[in-house]
Homo-oligomer: A and B are copies of this chain.
Amino acid sequence: MAVEMRTPIPVKEAIERVIKIVKHKEVSTLPIEQSLNSILAEDVKATYDIPRFDKSPYDGFAINSKDSQGANGNNRIQFKVIDHIGAGTASDVTIKNGEAVRIMTGAPIPNGADAVVMFEQTTENEKGFTIRKSFKQGENIAFKGEECKENDIVLNKGKLINSGVIAVLATFGYQNVKVYQKPTVAIIATGSELVGPNEPLEPGNIRNSNGPMIESLCRGINIEATTYQIQEDNLKGCIDIVEKAMSEHDIVITTGGVSVGDFDYLPKVYEAIGANVLFNKVQMRPGSVTTVAYKDHNILFGLSGNPSACYSGFQLFTKPTIQKMMAAQEVYPVIIDAILAEDFKKANPFTRFIRGKAHFTNEGVYLEPSGSNKSNAIVAIANSNGMIILPSGTRGYAKGDTVKVLLTDHLSYESELNL
């Protein structure tokens, strides 16, 4: 039996091939409190001027600036306080010569006033207060519309809805917002050796861990994932379950069965269902046999059964696809420079992705591999917050070398209080 020949392509090209064919999903309308982390499918307009009215940005006194002219340390000018405005109320009075209104931050400027004196700039006395400097017209006033005007587009279609966007929507009284739908994911673990969490562990069996790992990777980015029954190494069963998953979800992730072994049926599944294979070999370790295919709107990820390779495949190919399907502008992983804290002497003809832990220190970002050579690969994933990228080459890497790291786990970045 001949071994199938595959042509390995560079990682970057592989990612770009996938992203190129991905289309975003339909638009739907959500209540704003359910829209966090979706992508805006409409421009958002200001429904009124901000500020809505001329207001005081400080606690102090509203005055007419003309009355302050000539004030200095040797010539303090006296003001009489005729009213008191808190935020949320307006004053009916009109300020006349030498008068002032005590005003709190956010309250509307009363009639006749054109400047605000901060408390710290006054000396209070029984009659009111004195000042020792003159004020300019408009000084310490936040003018109606100076931040934005009614009907201004304040947020553009395509923007990720973060907490600031939620605040903007709330400010302008929007209760619903149009967003791009998020894709849903089907997860199918393949391999006759795999058993589920409740099944007995017979000789030759191992428990399915890639399925739960992928499910939690999806959940971590707020993507709904459905786990299908574990598939034994059986071609007909695999074809049926993949077709069912494609009819129910946008993205179908299989783990295992993607190599060139006798029971690696995924290549035959892609053929049987008429999927277009974008690549089936990538210049990377682990996970060189990672395969991505598509048919109509479905994208199929054939991730390796090796847990490290499965994890890398999700981070490199699946996550950017999810981002693009939900119409995100930023689809690629964040990759930064960091300093290797250990030697990595082994040369490799393919780019290596090594599970690592980034430490953010005052002296820079340091990387340590999170598992040594023979340590448990899954434990190394658990102890990682990034993937150290060691490009292919004829030499290894030394402690102190600057290399790239793809950040994966934003909640477990070690950081000093670097202030």
Scan A400-419; emit 1 where CB is below 8 A from any B CB, else 0: 00001001011111111111
Scan A174-208; emit 1 where CB is below 8 A from any B CB, else 0: 01000000000000000111100110010111111
Complex CA gap A52/B207 in Å reads 11
Report yes or no: A212 in contact with B32, Cβ–Cβ below 8 A.
yes
Identical chains bound together, number: 2
Report yes or no: B59 in contact with A89, Cβ–Cβ below 8 A.
no
Which of B191, B201, B217 is A87 in contact with, Cβ under 8 Å? B191
Q: Interface size bucket, A side?
A: 35 or more
With A335-B360, A335-B415 given, can you name 8 additional A-B contacts, CB distance below 8 Å? A3-B120, A106-B206, A164-B379, A170-B197, A173-B207, A328-B411, A337-B364, A389-B419
Complex CA gap A384/B120 in Å reads 32
Report yes or no: B412 in contact with A193, Cβ–Cβ below 8 A.
no
Which of B33, B198, B365, B385 is A212 in contact with, Cβ under 8 Å? B33
| B-binding residues in A (CB < 8 A) | 1-3, 11-12, 15-16, 32-33, 36-37, 48, 50, 52-53, 59, 84, 86-90, 102, 104-108, 119-120, 124, 146-148, 154-155, 159-160, 162-173, 175, 191-194, 197-198, 201, 203-217, 219-221, 232-233, 259-263, 305, 307, 311, 328-330, 332-337, 351, 360, 364-365, 374-385, 389, 404, 407, 409-419
Report yes or no: A411 in contact with B173, Cβ–Cβ below 8 A.
no
Complex CA gap A2/B417 in Å reads 36
Report yes or no: A376 in contact with B50, Cβ–Cβ below 8 A.
yes
Complex CA gap A200/B220 in Å reads 38
Q: Which residue of B lies closest to A51 (CB)?
A: B206
Set of chain B residues within 8 Å of A155, measured between Cβ atoms: 379, 382
Report yes or no: A263 in contact with B335, Cβ–Cβ below 8 A.
no
